[in-house]
Chain A
């Protein structure tokens, strides 16, 4: 009950911010419309809707990091956290309370993205449901990064690191906007060592129905998500003690 009450509060704080909603739902839709318009005029296979929409769905989730990190950093800096630390709430209540409310937000983002993709020509298929399911480990990855950053940074630092740096890393190293093979070399190697390109490739494989191709990528995403969540929990507990 304690955790659910806290999760409810966090959900309200996030969805009541119009800026959050516009970034989460508006930005991916604008990207889909814009790149589909380019595709209509200058056909590029990268921007075909079945290839583009999985990447945009993943990219939209990068904003979850910004929301969760900002909320946690602000809470840490305010006396509200001090008050809550003196209540019977346990560390598990805090961590789940910050993590769980972002799961439905992530699913809603994915649904909005694929809804507009269908309007733009994506075939309605059961694979969309699988893609939505596979957005969950990606969401956990981004929420974990948010929990980690929110536990060590203040809200201004969070804006720079999670808002600018992470979204750029997610964009550049994910193969959404350009083919990483064309760049090659160290850039490609670094991209393949990070989870972003694997999240996108996993989504593309699911939408295309190439189920066997999901797996190498799913392990990468899950591995990163679990490692980052463990680090985030450790750092959160450490700052709680401080």
Chain B
């Protein structure tokens, strides 16, 4: 069974087609990147896959569950780490993690075990009692990702996870995302091409709601004859304009 199977997914906003008959498949445990310029349809695709927006046409199946007919079942499988840090600023780091454990219905023992595990994994021990709103951007981003991981998702959507982070914080988050490979299916959207190249098993490039290509970083570079994904991306996107 595929982690994600998208069949002709379409979303229109009045006369603009944000996502146009998108079809693709993502294997379980794969780290899959969605790339595209602004307005390419990446965020709309993720919103549909995470049941935040209803598609106009088509359907997608997450581990066999339809986003149209079984949104509650889909929500049990996924977690989303939005582009902006999605934390409750008036709560402490621990309370934020407890909030997510609570909304996923974890009992006390499981909750405490998951909080211990995630604070250790993301190095949050030193700030566990601090208010989330008082943390730096990097720490808030870590907390945001911890909140996404704590629900033990089978599929994790990471929207621009390293946006605005310094080099060290970004490198540490890359290591964390790599460590998820094989265990969790990760869908990553990013504007950093080197990030997609370093982390992804496969990359999909979108423009104007359409899928232009979907392959491994190595094959995309090979087919375009470019040395880097950034150059290959520019060539593919510009080629679609002609």
Contacts and interface: CB of A to CB of B under 8 A. Distances in A.
Interface of A: 1-2, 4-6, 8-9, 12-13, 16-17, 78-80, 82-89, 93, 241
B205 interface: no
B86 A87 contact: no
Interface of B: 50-52, 54, 72, 75-76, 78-88, 90-91, 95, 98-105, 147-148, 151
Contact of A13 (B54, B72, B91, B101): B91
A201 B186 CA distance: 60
A13 B90 contact: yes
14 contacts: A4-B102, A8-B102, A9-B95, A79-B83, A82-B82, A83-B147, A83-B148, A84-B103, A86-B51, A86-B78, A86-B79, A86-B80, A87-B103, A93-B103
Given A17-B90, A82-B52, A87 B84 contact: no
Contacts, number: 71
A57 B241 CA distance: 66
A241 B54 CA distance: 8
A6 B50 contact: no
Contacts of B81: 83
Given A79-B82, A85-B52, A88-B103, 8 more contacts: A6-B99, A9-B88, A9-B95, A17-B90, A79-B84, A83-B148, A84-B103, A86-B75
A2 B102 contact: yes
A12 B101 CA distance: 17
Q: Which 5 residue pairs across A and B have the least CB separation, nearest first?
A: A5-B102, A79-B86, A79-B82, A83-B86, A13-B90
A83 B83 CA distance: 10
Contacts of A79: 82-86
Nearest to B86: A79
Contacts of A12: 90-91, 95
A82 to B, nearest CB: 5
Contacts of A2: 102-103, 105
B83 to A, nearest CB: 7
A84 B75 CA distance: 10
Given A5-B103, A12-B90, A12-B95, A88 B80 contact: no
Contacts of B91: 9, 12-13
B31 to A, nearest CB: 19
Nearest to A83: B86
Contacts of B80: 82-83, 86
